[in-house]
Amino acid sequence: MKLMILSFLLIGFPGVCLGAEPLQLHWDQNYLTITGDQLPGGEMKVHYLEAYCRSGSTDADWVQHTRMKHETRRIEANEQGTMVRLQCHVGDGLIVDHLIQSTKDDVTFQLTAHNPTDKRSQAHWAQPCIRVDKFTGGNQQTYLAKSFVFLDGQLERMPTRSWATEARYVPGQVWAPPGVPRSDVNPRPLSDLIPSNGLIGCFSEDESMIFATAFEPYQELFQGVAVCLHADFRLGGLEPGEKKTIRGKIYLVPNDLDALLKRYREDFPEHHEP
């Protein structure tokens, strides 16, 4: 009888995946693959990292100006498949160490960027490109209706109002937070709307789950061209000898928006809506 009551209580709480094993992490050739029976489609791929980027990027050539050369290697991975350590060497000498860990319903990113050179680093922001095709069951056109950002304190599905359509490269959509120069973001259409917080995400094909992601500090939120969503993190250029820390999350949770927002606010108090 006690076991039956416990089972009922666990099932009744949003965010509890009864019997679920931790999400598994595997990194190879610049792709982080997240797998798990609780994940729609069985897996989610992250181009990690797609690029480290210079400032002055909004109206600049992506290859000739914005994207910096970098190389990532795996330093360590545990036998349980729940932890990966990576190290990135950026072309101007910047070194970024990454600790990535998983639980049953999230993936945590802890980064330390260090400039050991005698010159200021040109790396101002970077892109974890999260592919959501299997999660949404959508393609480049149809996944938009599953995707969202927060505007005026409310979840708004894409395409949002005031959808921008002009830029050096199209399609796509960029939302930049206060304090980030509009000249330093992705060269895709830039919305004139300011996001209420740093969370971007989408619903699963059957709407039973939510994927969402956030980084702090963040440079932009981005709906891309590879059936992807980004919360691109900010580096801001590091002075010689300077270190900076960045943290991020991927949430893969049941469709309970209030529970997700509560958890997000606890994880990222800096992102509280005004």
Host H or E run for residue 101: strand 95-102
Q: What is the mean pLDDT of residues 109-127?
A: 98
Q: What is the mean pLDDT of residues 18-36?
A: 92
Q: Which positions ≥6 away from 63 have C-beta within 8 Å? A: none
pLDDT at 19: 53
Query: How many domains are there within the chain?
Result: 1
Q: What is the mean pLDDT of residues 139-160?
A: 97
For residue 50, what is the domain's CATH number?
A: 2.70.98
Asked if residue 61 belongs to a domain, the reply is: yes
The answer to whether residues 174 and 188 touch, using CB atoms and an 8 Å cutoff, is yes
pLDDT at 8: 34
Percent of the chain with pLDDT over 90: 91
The answer to whether residues 38 and 252 touch, using CB atoms and an 8 Å cutoff, is yes
Asked if residue 273 belongs to a domain, the reply is: no
pLDDT at 58: 98
The answer to whether residues 137 and 44 touch, using CB atoms and an 8 Å cutoff, is no
Asked if residue 62 belongs to a domain, the reply is: yes
Asked if residue 239 belongs to a domain, the reply is: yes
What pLDDT digit, counting tens, does each position of 236-263 carry? 999 999 999 999 999 999 999 999 999 9
Asked if residue 34 belongs to a domain, the reply is: yes
How far is it, in rounded angstroms, from Cα 102 to Cα 144? 27
Q: Mean of the per-residue pLDDT values for the chain?
A: 93
Host H or E run for residue 6: helix 2-12
C-alpha dihedral sign at 145, 260, 33, 66: positive
pLDDT at 272: 74
pLDDT at 273: 57
What pLDDT digit, counting tens, does each position of 55-67 carry? 999 999 999 999 9
**Statement: residue 10 has pLDDT above 80:** no
Q: Which residue has the higher pLDDT, 14 or 196?
A: 196
Asked if residue 98 belongs to a domain, the reply is: yes
**Statement: residue 75 has pLDDT above 90:** yes
Q: What is the mean pLDDT of residues 214-231?
A: 97
DSSP 140: T
20 — pLDDT class (breaks 50, 70, 90): confident
**Statement: residue 9 has pLDDT above 60:** no
**Statement: residue 92 has pLDDT above 70:** yes
Asked if residue 100 belongs to a domain, the reply is: yes
How far is it, in rounded angstroms, from Cα 132 to Cα 143? 8
The answer to whether residues 89 and 113 touch, using CB atoms and an 8 Å cutoff, is no
Asked if residue 262 belongs to a domain, the reply is: yes
Alpha helices by DSSP H, 151-273: 257-267
pLDDT at 270: 93
Range of the domain at 258: 21-268
